[in-house]
Structure 1
């Protein structure tokens, strides 16, 4: 196999090493799927800077420094922006969209406050997303209406809605429920500035209330909601609340690889 380390920029090489990815870089659908899955297993979803009052930057150089160099995570506007940059550097055709996140929305229809990617490869279009803390597809979903996509115990499909565009649905207790939707209106980087600012600062933003951290593992997923850690495996869940700030930060390091001065 060709050694891609000799053919990519130092920044791309560092990003791929951050993802623990050592596979081929052929620009195909299988490689795209592997990259997305590696991302979900190595880069945590987290809103800790928002809680600490640290302004977020969506500039690629700042995201690279935070996520790759300092080995932090982020939320959708950060994670999908940087992942989209990586895919473009690797030769993929990528379009950015703004989405409405329907799951657990108390007052539907929801605001457009989620960032997703459409990626073209091997003659098809795929929905890619590494920016959700909850359970979502680990691998890209081909953008074909009605095609069911099964992953372990989860099942997803895409439909076209006359008002909201593409609607990603998840099968839950025998019923198809809305996960998120997006219209095919390409977005520029500046289009994400205002929704990102709302997520950081609005009184009713869900991101400024308590800690939200999540990462996939080979046996399940690890999460944090507020102070409670939950370690999910295929057949059990272990939850605990660290008793001190030091123990909390040590748990972030242990279960998410996050090293943060003070939470």
Structure 2
């Protein structure tokens, strides 16, 4: 196993052999979501986003940062391929928290084929990322502890990933099965990271799963979810903001 793969596995708390099995795939996605945060701080700070694997490895593995979907799923896809998985890259239209039809496809999704079955794999959807890969099959409720997801077919937009909220199913993102190359994401990522109209330029967005629940940030507001409920606070200084990033997301700026 090459040195970079070992370093990546160590970054997400996994040691030892990682044979390309479904059990390993489940462990990899779960561990990734608990160790590497979704975050757009470089975008907010005007730092250019690179999707080159060497640059992503340096940022996420060596320097201990996170990223947004184009970064996280690009590097995770590289890890899976390095471990022997068959990976196909999809483009998605992100519907969660949108009141109208999203005008741009702006989400990177991974599909993994394993032992004759297909799975949707995603470590880049922020707080909406399922804990484990989802079986790529229509109209099956897939429970993951207290959460549940399903994939349905939409006449206009292809496949739709939905999450169960009470008695309702709410859309997370849609996608089609057209394979994409790494270069296909570059233009959209550039728009998302530089255009003033991009939601990624408007407010900080962070999310990471924890053993107790999850931690998120929207703007300056930190939300710490656990079994007792949610704690909400806004750091009262830049120093405390940086300390909160370190404490709740493992991010050192």
Q: TM-score, normalised by structure 1?
A: 0.93
2:226 paired residue among 220, 233, 245: 233
Q: Which residue of 2 aligns with 1:19?
A: 12
**Alpha-carbon distance in structure 1 between the residues aligned to 2:3 and 2:57:** 12
**Alpha-carbon distance in structure 1 between the residues aligned to 2:207 and 2:145:** 19
Q: Give how far 1:23 is off.
A: 5.5
* C-alpha RMSD over aligned residues: 1.1
**Alpha-carbon distance in structure 2 between the residues aligned to 1:186 and 1:158:** 18
1:91 paired residue among 77, 84, 95: 84
Q: Give how far 1:122 is off.
A: 2.2
**Alpha-carbon distance in structure 2 between the residues aligned to 1:53 and 1:199:** 12
Q: Which residue of 2 aligns with 1:111?
A: 104
**Alpha-carbon distance in structure 1 between the residues aligned to 2:128 and 2:184:** 26
Q: Give how far 1:238 is off.
A: 1.0
- CA deviation profile, 1:204-255 (whole Å, cap 9, x unmatched): 2110011111100001001111111111102211111111111110111111
**Alpha-carbon distance in structure 1 between the residues aligned to 2:101 and 2:157:** 12
> How many correspondences in the alignment?
253
**Alpha-carbon distance in structure 2 between the residues aligned to 1:93 and 1:227:** 39
Q: TM-score, normalised by structure 2?
A: 0.97
Q: Which residue of 2 aligns with 1:4?
A: none
**Alpha-carbon distance in structure 1 between the residues aligned to 2:9 and 2:77:** 13
Q: Give how far 1:109 is off.
A: 4.0
Q: What is the DSSP-based 3-state SS (H/G/I as helix, E as strand, rest coil) of the residue aligned with 1:112? A: coil
Q: What is the DSSP-based 3-state SS (H/G/I as helix, E as strand, rest coil) of the residue aligned with 1:11? A: helix
2:57 paired residue among 56, 61, 64: 64
Taking the TM superposition and a 5 Å limit, the aligned residue runs for 1:183-262 are 183-260=176-253
Q: Which residue of 2 aligns with 1:39?
A: 32
Q: Which deviates further from its counterpart, 174-183 or 19-28?
A: 19-28
**Alpha-carbon distance in structure 1 between the residues aligned to 2:109 and 2:228:** 31
- CA deviation profile, 1:24-57 (whole Å, cap 9, x unmatched): 4121111101000000000000000001100100
Contact kept, 8 Å, 1:231 with 1:237, in 2: the verdict is: yes
Structure 2 residue runs of 5 or longer lacking an equivalent are none
1:158 paired residue among 151, 172, 184: 151
Q: Give how far 1:152 is off.
A: 2.3
Q: Give how far 1:173 is off.
A: 2.5
